[in-house]
Every structure is written in C-alpha cells, then in structure tokens.
Amino acid sequence: MIYLDNAATSFPKLPEVIKAVNKCLNEEGANPGRGGYNLAVKAARVIFNTREQVARLFNIDDSANIAFTLNATDALNMAIKGLVKPGDHVVTTILEHNAVLRPLQWLEMNLQVAFTKVAASPEGYIDLKELEAAIRPDTVLIVANHASNVIGSILPIADIADIAHRRHIPILVDAAQTAGGVPIDIQATGIDMLAFTGHKALFGLQGTGGLYIREDLEVMESRQGGTGSDSSGPQPMVRPDRYESGTPNTPGLAGLGAGVEFILKEGVENIFAREQALIERLMAGFKGIPELTMYGPAVGAKRVPLVSVNLAGVSPHMLAHTLDKAFDIGVRAGLHCAPGAHQTIGTANTGTVRFGLNYLTTEDEVDAAIAALSDITKRHE
C-alpha cells in the first residue's frame, strides 16, 4: 500500500520508535514519579529524556516548561482556555484547524469572548498589517497556525511574534503540521506558547503531544489531580507537574523520544529540504495534468509536504475512493477539520483531496501517485 496521509498521522512509524515503545512496555512500564523503586525511577527517566529531547528540538532552555498532552488539540485547548478570561478578545486566522476555532467558538458562546479571524490569500498567506490592525485594547492572545493543514503554506511566525510582542500580547503557535519538519526556535522567536502533536512529523504514537508555555506566563491548568510529586494540599504549581495530572502515556512518550532523537540526528533542515524536494516532484508531475487544480503556494515556494487538489468532474470522495480501490493509495478527502482554509481557496462546498508526504516517502511512491492521477484523468475523458 502507498500511504500518503501523513498530514493526518505519520505511518509507518520508525523502527526506532516501535523499539522504544516495546522496551518501555517490557522493561520500564511502571507508573512514573509514583514510586521510589527501580522500575518507577526508570519510567520517570523515560519521560524526562523525552522532555529533554523536545526541548533540544525547539531550543527551549528549560524542559520543565513543556507539558505533555494527549495531542495538539488538548494542548491548544489548555493554552486558549487557560489564558483567555470572560470578555477578552483574541486574534487568529481563517486558516486555523478546528482545534483552535472550536475552543474559541466555545468561549464566544459561553464566556462572551470575542475573536477576529484574519483573512488569507488563496496561497494561504495572511497580511501582517491586517493582523496588526485586528489587535484591540482588549486583545489578550494571538493564535496562529504555523502551517495550514489544507493549503500547505508556512506562516512567518517570527514576524507574527514580533507584532504580538510590540503590543505586549502573547502568541500561541499551532505547530501540528510543522513540529519535526520545519525549524522552530523558541528562544530566537520568543514564541510564548507552542502546541505540537506527537503522531505526525515527530513520528510518535497517537495520544502524544505537548504544550510549551513561557516560564513567566500564567496559564491555568486544564485539570487537577495526582501528580506523584506532592500529595498534600492543593494542585502543585511546580512545572511540569501542574499541567500533567494523572498517569501519563509513558510508552507513547518513550516512542516520541525516539522519534525526536531520530529527527535531531537527521537534522530538521535536512528533513525540510527532502520533504520540499518530494512535494515539488509531486506538484511538478500534477502540473502535467490540466484537469487537476492544485491549491496553495506555487511549485517552488516553501511549504509543508502536503498538497490539496481537485480533479474536474470527480468529487474528492470519489477520487480518494478510486485511488484506494484501484491503486491502493491512501489519501484523505473532505474539509480536513479546517473549514476557513477551504473558504479561502473556494472549496468550502466540496473539500479537496489531500496528499500528505513525509521524510520517509519515496520518489517511487510520488511517481506512482502521479501515474494514478493521470490514469484516472484519462478514464474520465
């Protein structure tokens, strides 16, 4: 099978990741931080090591400011609801995933929070002047996608962070599509909060993710409970314990650590270059099919390794179905949980078919996808 749905979740997982998960299950699987015996200490070390690797990847100086979560959605919910208060205003973009939009809509409906969505061009870029103009005296947060999961465009988060900081507003970046594939430097950009997911370009298991929170930024934890560290009195304020009540996904985090270690070894810049070459190869091949519309930045512009397309006269679901049944190629059709991005490219009614590559995708797989699309096009002529 040719798996090209890596923008949804990466598959297959790296052998290193599977090995680390197995090792954890076989040799380190006690409850971390909840006992002083050897196995519990080993489990705690697994999580500590993963936190340190993630800190290296994003250039975070103190790994205690990274809280592990279920996924990016969990991290984004914690960041948004933990910072925004009733009556506040938030600036965001039309490109956001529902993991950002729906918490904001919930706050709007329940806590009189207002938010402004900055529009984007069909190539998936926002006008920074428009973003700055959307800031109001009561704006307490800017939330921005690092890369659109529909359009593939990469937003200039360092510039957005500059604007936010000039206005003394924290910025939350949704790095679900970029963590592991696009360089992110917390210390250089001063990004205040970064939400990431473990199961896409970080090669980890589903059910892993995290949130970096700047050390002096007050964000309310999303739940209280046992942390293993201090069982007397109310919720401890010490990080990361404050944000991680309950038994964590230790085997999943063991896998995430191995995924991040692999990325650090390969180098994010090298991963980005390979993924860019692969997506350009796919897009160059697709360009030879006149009936196919490709959305987002032109061939050659920097993007994450995904491209959304539509074939004239064939619905996205039918196209994805044919790719699956006739060619054994797995891709995703629909709105991809980001309706505003589809409004931006004019596909809100139909959706698109999204091809999601990653570092492990081969040139042969890319060429097979191009050949399959040509074949399907000919059948519809």
Ligand X SMILES: Cc1ncc(COP(=O)(O)O)c(C=O)c1O
Site for ligand X in 72-131 (CB under 6 A): 72-73, 97, 99
Does position 308 interact with ligand X (CB under 6 A)? The reply is no
CB 236, min distance to ligand X, A: 26
Does position 5 interact with ligand X (CB under 6 A)? The reply is no
Does position 14 interact with ligand X (CB under 6 A)? The reply is no
CB 202, min distance to ligand X, A: 10
CB 88, min distance to ligand X, A: 22
**Burial letters 4-29, b for 16+ CB under 10 A, else e:** bbbbbbbeebbebbeebbebbeeebb
Site for ligand X in 176-215 (CB under 6 A): 176-177, 197, 209
DSSP E strand boundaries for the chain = 2-3, 66-69, 89-93, 114-118, 139-145, 171-174, 193-197, 209-213, 292-294, 306-311, 329-330, 332-334, 352-356
Centroid of chain to Cα 32: 26
CB 7, min distance to ligand X, A: 6
**What end-to-end distance do the CA atoms of the chain give, in Å?**
27
Structure tokens at 191: 């990004």
Tell me the window of 69-77, 123-131, 158-166, 350-358 that interacts with ligand X (CB under 6 A).
69-77
CB nearer to ligand X: pick between 7 and 84: 7
Centroid of chain to Cα 96: 11
Structure tokens at 207: 């059910």
C-alpha 31/C-alpha 54 separation (Å) is 21
Does position 310 interact with ligand X (CB under 6 A)? The reply is no
Binder to ligand X among 174, 192, 261, 275 (CB under 6 A)?
A: 174
Structure tokens at 326: 């006739």
Quickly tell me which residue has 């699987």 as its tokens.
Answer: 29
Binder to ligand X among 149, 153, 250, 276 (CB under 6 A)?
A: 149
Binder to ligand X among 6, 63, 65, 71 (CB under 6 A)?
A: 71
Does position 173 interact with ligand X (CB under 6 A)? The reply is no
Binding positions for ligand X, rule: CB under 6 A: 8, 71-73, 97, 99, 145, 149, 174, 176-177, 197, 209
